[in-house]
Amino acid sequence: MNLDEPPDPEIDAAAQEAMLAGMLEPEVVGDMVLHAVRANEAFIFTHPDFEPFVGARHAEMVASFERWQAYREKHGI
């Protein structure tokens, strides 16, 4: 996943198809939300198939922290 490139329509279509196939009933999602609120959970992941996309985004964020830390060190900030 590269945020500098336009999204791939085939990947977007596959992601949408996977999401629709695994669609949860509103009552189930409501139950998950209630559980999360009671457990003080910050995130609710209703579609575990998206974990790779979240992992890729996280990796990009970590790399960005590292690049900006190097910038700060180089410039004495």
In a domain, 19, yes or no: yes
Of residues 6 and 35, which shows the higher confidence score?
Answer: 35
In a domain, 1, yes or no: no
Whether 3 has a pLDDT exceeding 70, the answer reads: no
pLDDT score, position 2: 60
Question: What is the number of domains present in the chain?
Answer: 1
Domain holding 17, by residue range, is 9-74
In a domain, 55, yes or no: yes
Give one DSSP letter per residue of 16-69, joined into a string. HHHHHHTPPPHHHHHHHHHHHHHTT-S---S-GGGHHHHHHHHHHHHHHHHHHH
Of residues 12 and 71, which shows the higher confidence score?
Answer: 71
Q: What is the pTM of this model?
A: 0.54
In a domain, 26, yes or no: yes
pLDDT digits (tens, 9 = 90+) for 41-53: 999 998 888 899 9
In a domain, 20, yes or no: yes
In a domain, 2, yes or no: no
In a domain, 4, yes or no: no
pLDDT digits (tens, 9 = 90+) for 11-39: 778 778 877 777 899 999 999 999 999 99
